[in-house]
Amino acid sequence: MSTGEKEKVLIRPMTRNDINAVLALDRKIGDGRSSLSYTDMDSTNPGGPADLSIVAEIDGKVVGFILTRLTYLMIPFTEVCLLQGMIIDPAYQGRGTGSQLIERLFENCRSKKINTIRALVPEFNKELREFVEFHKFHRSNIINFDKTFDNE
Ligand SMILES: CC(C)(COP(=O)(O)OP(=O)(O)OC[C@H]1O[C@@H](n2cnc3c(N)ncnc32)[C@H](O)[C@@H]1OP(=O)(O)O)[C@@H](O)C(=O)NCCC(=O)NCCS
Nearest residue (CA) to ligand 1, atom 25: 130
pLDDT per position as a tens digit, 123-135: 999 999 999 999 9
Note whether 42 and 16 are within 8 A (CB).
yes
pLDDT at residue 24, as a whole number: 95
Q: Which residues contact 129 (CB under 8 A, 6 or more apart)?
A: 121, 123
For ligand 1, whether the C-beta of 94 sits within 6 Å is: yes
Q: 3-class SS at 108?
A: helix
pLDDT at residue 1, as a whole number: 55
Tally the domains of the chain: 1
* Ligand 1 center–CA 25 separation, angstroms: 15
Residue 151: inside a domain: no
Q: Which residues contact 72 (CB under 8 A, 6 or more apart)?
A: 78, 79, 80
Mutate to test the pocket of ligand 1, among 131, 134, 137 (most ligand atoms within 8 A of CB): 131
Residue 134: inside a domain: no
Note the helical H segments in the chain.
Answer: 19-29, 38-43, 97-111, 126-134
Residue 1: inside a domain: no
For ligand 1, whether the C-beta of 131 sits within 6 Å is: yes
Residue 31: inside a domain: yes
CATH of the domain at 97: 3.40.630.30
pLDDT per position as a tens digit, 55-114: 999 999 999 999 999 988 777 677 899 999 999 999 999 999 999 999 999 999 999 999
Q: Which residues contact 8 (CB under 8 A, 6 or more apart)?
A: 58
Give the range of the structural domain holding residue 111, as residue numbers without chain letter.
Answer: 9-68+84-115
Residue 25: inside a domain: yes
For ligand 1, whether the C-beta of 46 sits within 6 Å is: no
Residue 79: inside a domain: no
pLDDT at residue 151, as a whole number: 77
pLDDT at residue 33, as a whole number: 81
Q: How far apart are CA 90 and CA 28, in angstroms?
A: 8
Residue 2 or 129, more confident = 129
Burial of 56 (0-12, 13-18, 19+ CB in 10 A): buried
Q: At 25, is the pLDDT very low, low, confident or very high (cuts 50, 70, 90)?
A: very high
Q: pTM of the predicted model, to two decimals?
A: 0.90
pLDDT per position as a tens digit, 39-54: 988 888 888 888 999 9
Note whether 120 and 80 are within 8 A (CB).
no
pLDDT at residue 74, as a whole number: 73
Residue 56: inside a domain: yes
Residue 73: inside a domain: no
